[in-house]
Amino acid sequence: MTRVFENKILDEIRVGESASIQQCLTQGDVRVWSALTGNLGLDEDLVQARAMTSWATSLFASLISSTLPGLGSVLHTANARYHRPVQVGQTVKATVTVKEIRRERSMIVLDCRCTDASGALIAEARVEVGAPTTKMRRELPEHRLEELVERCRGLKPMPTAVVHPCSAESLLGAVEAANQGLIAPILFGPEDEIHKIAAAQKVDLSRYRIVATADAEESAGRAAAMASTGEAQALMKGSLHTDQFMHAILAKENHLRTNRLLSHCMLISLPTYARRVIISDAAINIAPDIDQKKDIIQNAIIFARAIGIEQPKVAILSAVEMVRTKMPSTLQAAALAKMADRNQIAGGIVDGPLDLDIAVDAASARIKGVKSPVAGLADILIAPNIDAANMMYKESSFMSAAQAAGIVMGAKVPVILTSRSDSSEARLFSTALAVLMADATARDPKLLHPATSE
């Protein structure tokens, strides 16, 4: 998907026209603000309240620089007021409206308002902006993950078995996905406990089907059985242990396995890197051998193709880009790259071993003298083991304010497997990925079964 930025020059702007953006305040936003301002170690509520002022102002600045007037805008003055706090996880709406046009100075005056879901005013500002006089247009690949949710608009909500949503986070994640029109949730768990959590969170469950179970094990088993019949088209992990959840999916009697290993794919969007990357495997396979990595790579390629990357480029990572006999990860990478040459892995361009800087940065490849069709262009990063993959994913999410979304591949239905520490945003994006995956495979069932030489 490509996002188009086109500015409005002074002669095109009219008093009263406006532009808006909706965004959810994340813990990452608060951490970034704390690091930039030096407000580290303060009371969390105080930091959050102070960060909100800067966050609201940044939303106004984003709208002005990207939309109204857009490219070529120059901020001259701004006078902002902050009215009330916003909680992490809360979505707000920022709007800029043209109040006045000063043509003699090529200047416009904007009224800016930030409101919560009820319409209550959070922050406001009056901003003077130098409007562009030259028309400008830019096309950039879409890499932020809100686009995943937008791509699901118009698709029918996917019947999804939500396994043991016996925590506020897991229940609210399913309800939010339903509110966004992504899924039709079927809740598996102890009915009294689910209703108790819903009451505490002021959530109405009357629209949703609940399948009463005694415990997490029964929840997982009955949900997997429903998925095997096609009544549920996806599985979503709730507040049970991952091994309980996965055991039911792997059980022979549920017929959810394909001929490939199950593996996890995590889609990452970093604010400082204008391309998405897929990391695998950060959640399931601990120390995969060559045959297991072959399946991990094939699953990741299928995943990438399902979300619109026609010929994904795969970097098999190691600490160095040369084959070293004392470094098993380099030997595995070289063997896997050759297997792809022989069409034992299909649908993508695979190279390795590559170290991370070469995989994501073309300048590093030039400096190191490495020529590779994947260098600087990797869509998929295959880690040597679960430790490396998990650290890459969590470093990106918790230290680099990345957006993340992930699903399990290799089963007959998409499996939404989130961490207990994942944000509500990550849960929503992961659900959108599952919807897109199911839609892609429904339109082209052969996607799940690429033709290889084996």
Answer whether 137's CB lies under 8 Å from 145's CB.
no
Q: What is the pLDDT of residues 424-441, one digit of tens each?
A: 788 899 999 999 999 999
Let me know whether 373 and 349 are in one domain. yes
443 within some domain: no
Nearest Cα to 287, choosing from 390, 385, 382, 389? Answer: 385
Q: Decide if 439 is inside a domain.
A: no
DSSP 105: G
Which of 103, 126, 141 terminates a domain? The answer is 141
Q: Which residues contact 71 (CB under 8 A, 6 or more apart)?
A: 5, 6, 7, 65, 132, 136, 137, 138
One domain, residues 318 and 359: yes
Does residue 31 belong to any structural domain of this protein? yes
pLDDT in tens, 270-288: 888 878 999 999 999 999 9
In the predicted structure, residue 317 carries a pLDDT above the cut 80: yes
Which tokens go with 195? Answer: 């209703």
Does residue 270 sit in the same domain as residue 236?
A: no
* 67 and 162 fall within a common domain: no
CATH number of the domain that residue 331 is part of = 3.40.718.10
- 71 in a domain, yes or no? yes
Residue 255 maps to a domain: no
Chain-centroid distance, C-alpha 321:
29
Question: Which stretches does DSSP call E strand in 287-366?
Answer: 313-317, 349-354
Domain final residue, candidates 141, 165, 191: 141
195 membership: H or E segment, kind and range:
helix 191-200
Q: How far is the C-alpha of 66 from the C-alpha of 58, rounded, in Å?
A: 12
Residues linked to residue 257 through DSSP beta bridges, in sequence order: 411
> Quick check: 141 and 156 in contact, CB under 8 A?
no
Structure tokens at 170: 């897991």
Is there a single domain that holds both residue 58 and residue 127? yes
Q: Verify that 33 and 133 share a domain, yes or no.
A: yes
Q: What is the pLDDT of residue 140?
A: 65
Question: Which residue, 209, 244, 279, sits at the end of a domain?
Answer: 244
Number of domain units in the chain: 3
Amino acid letter for position 219? S
Q: Is the bond preceding residue 414 a cis peptide, omega within 30 degrees?
A: no
Residue 325: the pLDDT is: 95
Statement to judge: residues 266 and 405 lie in one domain: yes
pLDDT at 206: 93
CA distance 281 to 1: 25
Contact 137, 52 (CB under 8 A): no
* Residue 125, domain CATH: 3.10.129.10
Same-domain check for residues 279 and 397: yes
CATH number, domain of 191, equals 3.40.50.10950
pLDDT digits (tens, 9 = 90+) for 337-375: 999 999 999 999 999 999 999 999 999 999 999 999 999
DSSP state of 233: S
pLDDT for the residue 297: 98
- The reported pLDDT for the residue numbered 38 is 63
Q: Within a domain: residue 49?
A: yes
The amino acid sitting at 284 is I
Q: Which residue has the higher pLDDT, 336 or 419?
A: 336
How far apart are alpha carbons 275 and 220 in whole angstroms?
Answer: 36
- What is the C-alpha to C-alpha distance for residues 380 and 316, in angstroms, rounded to an integer? 8
In a domain, 333, yes or no: yes
How far the first Cα of the chain sits from its last, in Å, is 33
Residue 225 lies in a domain: yes
Quick: pLDDT tens for 224-243: 999 999 999 999 999 998 89
pLDDT at 2: 63
- Residue 51's pLDDT is 59
Distance of CA 256 to the CA centre of its chain: 25
Q: Are residues 116 and 214 in the same domain?
A: no
DSSP 384-451: SSHHHHHHHHHHHHHHS--EEEEEEESBSS-EE---TT--HHHHHHHHHHHHHHHHHHHH-GGGGS--
Residues 158, 289, single domain; the answer is no
Read off the pLDDT of residues 105-162 as tens digits, 9 standing for 90 and up.
999 999 999 998 888 998 899 999 999 999 998 876 667 888 899 899 999 999 999 9
CA distances from 345 to 173, 241, 387 (A): 35, 32, 24
Q: Phi/psi of residue 371, each to 5°?
A: -105, 120
Does the pLDDT of residue 450 top 90, yes or no?
no
CB 226 within 8 A of CB 186: yes
Closest-CA residue to 261 (of 293, 239, 308): 293
Q: pLDDT tens digits, residue range 18-57?
A: 999 888 777 767 766 666 666 655 455 555 555 566 777 8
Instruction: Please state the length of the chain.
Output: 454
Residues 115 and 153 in one domain: no
Give the side-chain half-sphere CA count within 13 A for 66.
14
**Each residue of 248-257: pLDDT tens digit?**
999 999 999 9
Q: Identify the CA nearest to 302 among candidates 429, 430, 187, 436.
A: 436
Write out pLDDT tens, residues 162-206. 999 999 889 998 999 999 999 999 999 999 999 999 999 999 999
Per-residue pLDDT tens digits for 295-310: 999 999 999 999 999 9
Question: What mean pLDDT value characterizes the chain?
Answer: 90
pLDDT average, residue stretch 314-324 = 96
Phi-psi region of 285 (alpha: psi -120 to 50; beta: other; left: phi over 0): beta
DSSP result, 148-172? HHHHTTTSPPEEEEEE---SHHHHH
User: Are residues 99 and 69 part of one domain?
Assistant: yes
How far apart CA 156 and CA 407 sit, in angstroms, is: 19
Q: Which domain holds residue 307?
A: 260-410
**3 state SS of 299:** helix
Q: Do 185 and 208 touch, CB atoms closer than 8 A?
A: yes
